[in-house]
Structure 1
Amino acid sequence: MRSQSPWRDQVIGVDMQVPLLAGGYRPYVNLDNASSTPVLKPVLETVVRFLPWYASIHRGTGFKSKLSTWAYEEARARVLEFVGADPKEYVASFVRNTTEAVNKLAWRLGQGQSKALAVTTLMEHHSNDLPWRRHFRLLRLPLDSSGFPEFDRLEDLLSEHSGQVRLVAVTGASNVTGLVTPIHELARIAHRHGAHIFVDAAQLAPHKPIRVQGDGREDSHIDFLAFSAHKMYAPFGSGALVARRDLLREIEPFEIGGGTVLRVSTDSVIYADPPWSEEAGSPNVVGAIALAAAIHWFQTTGMSAVEAYEHELARATWEILRSIPEVDLYGPAEFDAGPDRLGVFSFNLRGWHHAKLAAVLAYEFGIGVRNGCFCAQPYVKALLGVNRSLEEKLMERSREGTTIPTPGAVRVSLGFYNSLDEVQYLGQALSRLATGEFEPRPYRLTAEGEYIPEDGDHDFAGSFRRLVADWGFPTGGMGGV
């Protein structure tokens, strides 16, 4: 494959020079895209052009207000178009992020149900698990030996609890292993048994086409779906919840107040129809515009082209990681065997604590990864084989406020701007650490569970304070502690 991405120059900050602990600078290698992505240049350009025209929306009568309202509603239309939703059947409401969308939906669907049943899996992000726990009784599909949920059990599980399961909630793609869920097949099964389906598309949306109205087979449509702009190269605080219009009309909205009503008296209220009933208070108009600009980039570039490039890069990354004997890689043993997958890989390097490895990669190689359990503790602990006794010990220590080294992994996650050169550099760094060719500086474990250089140079010789001051931002607060 080519050594550089064809779209690298479309992204802001990809070649920023960062300091290394040993001295000097090198271009930053960002391999933490599953958490948040950098900004697309066209997105920022759109935002900058919009800002002089920004004004209050929906009820302002001036030119700027009407223009901002028109642009905001156009952004909503672009969201529906992006996920293949007919606006006659679906609505899109703007949210802060996927987590907020799930919490809103869980509250709505859980009302008046006396804790109805919902089915989910062990592969879920906490945000597609904890909100459902609060409002439903959960049934979880277990994992197979490769770390993929046993979806072939779903039919029997729904039959066993016939008529009692209201919802099947699944991720579109794992933020730990990159494994992609067969959402339309699951939708058909759920609908056959009278259940709805929700898809957490936070990891899926930037990488693969989405069609909520189905794949052409009967009952394969998705009832509810959410995703975040900050994972789509538009980190301006927005996201979207896409829902079937008829299902949202059934229940009172989660948040109420300004913008959600048609008429209010001292003793009664008539709520607006979705999506306006879902957006209490003044919305993040700039965030919505930024998300629409990112969607426009994906549509004009072609999601199939992005998907093809990322798949090649993901395969190359997997091969590099697998070639290092000391790397324990979690997920299926073969890249192209089993479920489809994204460029998200979690692993450990034998003899290294995951937090220390992540710190050394950052401080001494200029590589940004993520470590820990990635807001998916039940899934990561299952992949690591953490037994019940250790899990209970970890929970008890946390209740006591005692810090102990926590099981976890290092995660590498790719974006369309990453290059073969970058993942090869990662492979070289891991190989040098595994063989002892590279001897890192001494590190110590902090009370927060983070490894920092023993000499206390955790902010790269004052780089943080200097950079923030250069931005014109006040320093000396909590960030400088």
Structure 2
Amino acid sequence: MEYINSFYHFRDLVVGVDTNIPLTDQTYTTAINFDNAATTPPFNHVMNEIVKFSPWYSSIHRGAGYKSQVSSKLYDDARNVIAEFVGANIDHHSIIFVKNATEAINKLSNKLLPLYKDGVVLSTCMEHHSNDLPWRGKYKMDYISIDKYGQLSMEDLKSKLVKYDGKVRLVTVTGASNVTGYINPIHKIAELAHSHGSKILVDGAQLVPHAPVDMKSFDSPEHIDYLVFSGHKMYAPFGTGVLIGPKATFMKSPPDYPGGGTVKIVTHDHIEWLDPPEREEAGTPNIMGVLAITGAIKLLNELGMHNIENYERMLTDHAIDSLQNIPYVELYHNPIKRGESVSIIPFNIKGLHHSIVANILSHEFGIAVRNGCFCAQPYIQRLLNISPEDTKKYIGNSNLPIPGMVRISFGIYNTIEEINTLVKALYHISLNRKFYFERYKKDLYSSFLN
């Protein structure tokens, strides 16, 4: 494909890259989006596929009409596309379509409860709330610690696996942090977990769109038992996520969402459930979302995940080299291990609250970033060295601005020129902090919560 030979042409693949937006001075500028870790814009290819399929859109499964048969085949074939993309085994694994990674993890936490309710679930101190909160109140939990840079402590993982002496049933870990971008050694973690009788879940929401992922053969000690990821972070809108795990997991209990599409036979006295994955996909499936995510995956495959990873790493290296030379900018990363992350950079400007910096970049320069705690508040508290005692003063106090960070995150369509624009903007902001504080201090109480 022609785009493979020129990284810059990645930009041509994405909807809306040349959109003009208004600034506070009443002029217009081309929007720059550095908030890809939250949601990516869609691929043109995906939107074209949706339009092309629309005349054939119909009910999924059990429909005798021709359009229904076409829609059903597309939906069922999508599981093969997913399996090939992440190295799943279609005979061993169930590939279940859900709304997003959050729903996937919640579903798995429900499904494992009959099996693991007396066991221990090990999460980590660097997780998104979606890979922490679903496990609370159901299981005995503990957290693997992090070092001063926010990277996972493998030594603490080993220690806790030994401490619980075979009682750990699941190690649940992010593939790449949505705050720092750090990539965890998921296969080493898997091997350790398996050696102590545990399984592993990888939250792949930030890893799968940016780097090659291989679940590996289930007879390998390094295999990944469960994997989740979301389409909306990989250029595929319309709300579809994926949960992958052993079929046996989903055969051992009723679906957590029973209803239409989950059963073989129902009487007032008896229910016979369908086999997975169908029993876990209650109601009318989101065929448009599934078409979107498989269309995005096909294009990502064509471009090559290694090519994408290398290009985004080049963008990240250039941004870090530039940002660390700006006065008053504080970067939160390990300078020795820069290559061990996806394209996410958190920072602050001394003397300016993160919400002020984000609003200035948006209103004055047309640059979209994210600010706050990125749904990972315990991780942010540790990265900012906020003690548990200090954290308590923010609880129930809506008049106290919550500490956090500014996050920039790149996609394949971002460019060196856009980063240079950001660097110039931040340099200007850093040298005019008092002026901007007075102009934007009203925003301290409006947009910082998560």
Same fold (TM over 0.5): yes
Q: Which residue of 1 aligns with 2:420?
A: 424
Q: Which residue of 2 aligns with 1:354?
A: 354
Match of 1:13 among 9, 12, 16: 16
Preserved CA contact (<8 Å) 2:121 2:171: yes
1:119-153 Cα offsets, whole Å, 9 max, x none, are: 11110000000001132111111111111110222
**TM-fit CA distance, 1:182:** 0.5
Q: Secondary structure at the match of 2:393?
A: helix
Q: Which amino acid aligns with 1:6?
A: H
Q: Which residue of 1 aligns with 2:238?
A: 236
1:330-376 Cα offsets, whole Å, 9 max, x none, are: 12133537xx1111011100111100010000000000000000000
Q: Which residue of 2 aligns with 1:406?
A: 402
Q: Which amino acid aligns with 2:251?
A: R
Preserved CA contact (<8 Å) 2:179 2:344: yes
Q: Per the alignment, do residues 20 and 135 of structure 1 end up closer, same or farther by CA in structure 2, a change over 3 Å counting?
A: same
Question: In 1, Cα distance between the equivalents of 2:434 and 2:156?
Answer: 47
Question: In 1, Cα distance between the equivalents of 2:48 and 2:309?
Answer: 24
Q: Secondary structure at the match of 1:197?
A: strand
Match of 1:443 among 440, 443, 446: 440
Question: In 1, Cα distance between the equivalents of 2:54 and 2:33?
Answer: 29
Kindly indicate whether residue 38 of structure 2 is the aligned counterpart of residue 38 of structure 1. no
Q: Which residue of 2 aligns with 1:195?
A: 198
**TM-fit CA distance, 1:437:** 9.0
Kindly indicate whether residue 136 of structure 2 is the aligned counterpart of residue 125 of structure 1. no
Question: In 2, Cα distance between the equivalents of 1:311 and 1:153?
Answer: 29
Match of 2:322 among 320, 323, 329: 320
Q: How does 1:140-289 map to 2 (within 5 A)?
A: 140-213=143-216, 218-289=220-291
Question: In 1, Cα distance between the equivalents of 2:6 and 2:346?
Answer: 23
Q: Which residue of 1 aligns with 2:97?
A: 94
Question: In 2, Cα distance between the equivalents of 1:424 and 1:192?
Answer: 47
Q: Which residue of 1 aligns with 2:78?
A: 75
Give ranges in structure 2 of 5+ residues lacking alignment. none
Preserved CA contact (<8 Å) 1:58 1:69: yes
**TM-fit CA distance, 1:160:** 1.4
Q: Which amino acid aligns with 1:445?
A: K
Q: Secondary structure at the match of 2:395?
A: helix
Preserved CA contact (<8 Å) 1:313 1:343: yes
Q: Secondary structure at the match of 1:5?
A: helix
Q: Per the alignment, do residues 240 and 247 of structure 1 end up closer, same or farther by CA in structure 2, a change over 3 Å counting?
A: same
Q: Bigger shift: 275-284 or 131-140?
A: 131-140
Q: Which residue of 1 aligns with 2:367?
A: 367
Q: Bigger shift: 244-253 or 31-40?
A: 244-253
TM-score, with length taken from structure 2: 0.95
Preserved CA contact (<8 Å) 2:356 2:444: no
Q: Which residue of 2 aligns with 1:473?
A: none
Q: How does 1:378-397 map to 2 (within 5 A)?
A: 378-397=378-397
Q: Which amino acid aligns with 2:411?
A: G
Give ranges in structure 1 of 5+ residues lacking alignment. 452-481
Give the length in aligned residue pairs: 443
Q: Which amino acid aligns with 1:424?
A: N
Question: In 1, Cα distance between the equivalents of 2:254 and 2:188?
Answer: 30
Q: Which amino acid aligns with 1:172?
A: G
Q: Which amino acid aligns with 1:10?
A: L
TM-score, with length taken from structure 1: 0.89
Question: In 1, Cα distance between the equivalents of 2:324 and 2:140?
Answer: 40
Question: In 2, Cα distance between the equivalents of 1:448 and 1:59?
Answer: 52
Preserved CA contact (<8 Å) 1:54 1:65: yes
Preserved CA contact (<8 Å) 1:226 1:242: yes
Q: Which amino acid aligns with 2:61?
A: H
Q: Which residue of 2 aligns with 1:27?
A: 30
**TM-fit CA distance, 1:294:** 0.2
Question: In 2, Cα distance between the equivalents of 1:177 and 1:91?
Answer: 31
Match of 2:294 among 292, 295, 308: 292
Question: In 2, Cα distance between the equivalents of 1:433 and 1:410?
Answer: 14
Q: Please give the root-mean-square deviation of Cα atoms over the aligned residues, in Å.
A: 1.9
Preserved CA contact (<8 Å) 1:369 1:412: yes
Q: Per the alignment, do residues 235 and 448 of structure 1 end up closer, same or farther by CA in structure 2, a change over 3 Å counting?
A: farther
Question: In 1, Cα distance between the equivalents of 2:444 and 2:428?
Answer: 29
Preserved CA contact (<8 Å) 1:158 1:193: yes
Q: Secondary structure at the match of 1:254?
A: coil
1:60-87 Cα offsets, whole Å, 9 max, x none, are: 1000000000011111221111111111
**TM-fit CA distance, 1:118:** 0.5
1:312-340 Cα offsets, whole Å, 9 max, x none, are: 11111111111113111112133537xx1
**TM-fit CA distance, 1:253:** 1.8
1:252-274 Cα offsets, whole Å, 9 max, x none, are: 22111111111111112111111
Q: Bigger shift: 135-144 or 59-68?
A: 135-144
Question: In 2, Cα distance between the equivalents of 1:54 and 1:242?
Answer: 26
Q: Which amino acid aligns with 1:450?
A: S
